[in-house]
Amino acid sequence: MIENIEYDALLERFKRVLRDNGLKYTKQREVLLQTLYNNSEHFTPEQLYLYIKERHPGLNVGIATVYRSLNLLEESGMVTSISFGVQGKKFELANKPHHDHMICRQCGVIVEFEDQIIEKRQLAIAKEHGFKLTGHIMQLYGVCGECNKQKIKGI
Amino acid sequence: MIENIEYDALLERFKRVLRDNGLKYTKQREVLLQTLYNNSEHFTPEQLYLYIKERHPGLNVGIATVYRSLNLLEESGMVTSISFGVQGKKFELANKPHHDHMICRQCGVIVEFEDQIIEKRQLAIAKEHGFKLTGHIMQLYGVCGECNKQKIKGI
DNA sequence: GTCAGTGCAAAAGTTTTGCATACAG
DNA sequence: CTGTATGCAAAACTTTTGCACTGAC
């Protein structure tokens, strides 16, 4: 096992949240967190379930546990969910370094980016409205260079 | 019926999209568009269905038509959907003036806002990546002033 | 008149729940 | 040991589809 201070800190935080709420630390929950940590993709509960089953054949997981854990993690603020267009709700770790998404409507390619100017404005805006920001998702929709040539009839 | 140039333009655009795609203009579709236009709220398909049934008792609508129409409108780019927290996917008109959403994780309240600095940066970023922007969704997640007092144990 | 649109009900898909067992604390 | 977590299967909920009929063009 490769040492990873960042992940260790995340795990500690996870354990603390569990402890603080009288919940238990189980292998299933750790694997879930680990999977979200190791993959920058956004998972639907279904995908996460299949992924874990495949990568951890020894571990018995049920889809119900995945749902229960995701809801738990989301409630505690460690995980966030968003939805991209038609596909269902997707989950990702909440405390990844700030990043945003640019999505091609045509081919679905996702480009991640980060912009300090926007980050700062977001904080300021939240403050103006009395919100305590816990996270954000910015999704820019458009057509990527590749797809620009084959545009369908739209608006 | 009160005159409303903005709505008329929207309706025209709608009719054109329908025509261009060989689709038909029906009362159900118009009522749907009208409802989205008249209400700044974000509707789930279910909510929209109930709302229309209530406000247009004469018009027979099925939930299936609501789903079909929303998907159609979304595909054509006239309507967008977002999802936040536990509640399902919600729809709104796509061409409202640019605005973004700040969502309370706790109570689900949505505050709309708009910020020119961010709008401009978005355009610039898209350009940098070769994207032609067609829209965007920015969702700031947090805890609103009201809910801040009753915060559950989280991170 | 033709063919897309509709409501309804059934089907498919998604998420939650009940329960008996397993296992963390 | 106690009580939470789990897997499984059933239940609840959400979304889509098939079909016969309606209505826009």
Domains and CATH numbers, chain A: 1-94 (1.10.10.10), 97-155 (3.30.1490.190)
Residues of chain B contacting residue A117, judged by C-beta atoms under 8 Å apart:
117, 121
Residues 6+ apart with CB under 8 A from B147: B104, B105, B106, B107
Interface contact flag, A134 B144, Cβ < 8 Å: no
Least confident of A48-57, A60-69, B40-49, B53-62: B40-49
Strands (E), B1-155: 79-83, 89-93, 100-104, 110-113, 132-143
Instruction: Please classify residue A124 by burial: count the beta carbons closer than 10 Å to its beta carbon, then call 0-12 exposed, 13-18 middle and 19+ buried.
Output: exposed
| Per-residue pLDDT reduced to its tens digit, A26-68 | 999 999 999 998 887 778 899 999 999 999 988 889 999 999 9
Instruction: Pick the closest to residue B139 from B19, B42, B21, B31 (CA basis).
Output: B42
Strand partners, B82: B90
Q: Which residue has the higher pLDDT, A53 or B41?
A: A53
DSSP helix, strand, coil percent of chain B (3-state; round to 5): 45, 20, 35
**B114 assigned to a ligand binding site:** no
Query: Which H or E element spans position A80?
Result: strand A79-83
The rounded percent of chain B whose pLDDT value lies above 70 is: 80
**A20 assigned to a ligand binding site:** no
pLDDT average, residue stretch A62-76: 91
Instruction: Pick the closest to residue A42 from A96, A118, A5 (CA basis).
Output: A96
Q: Is the predicted pLDDT of residue A107 greater than 60, yes or no?
A: no
Interface contact flag, B102 A126, Cβ < 8 Å: yes
Whole-prediction pTM value? Answer: 0.70
| Nucleotides of chain C touched by protein CB (<7 A) | 4-10, 14-18, 23-25
Residues of chain A contacting residue B148, judged by C-beta atoms under 8 Å apart:
132
From CA B61, how far away is CA B31, in angstroms rounded? 10
Q: Is the predicted pLDDT of residue A105 greater than 70, yes or no?
A: no
Q: Which residue is nearest to nucleotide C8 (CA to C1')?
A: B62
For the record, the structure tokens of B120 come out as: 């401009």
Residue A68: per-residue pLDDT: 94
For the record, the structure tokens of A68 come out as: 């229960």
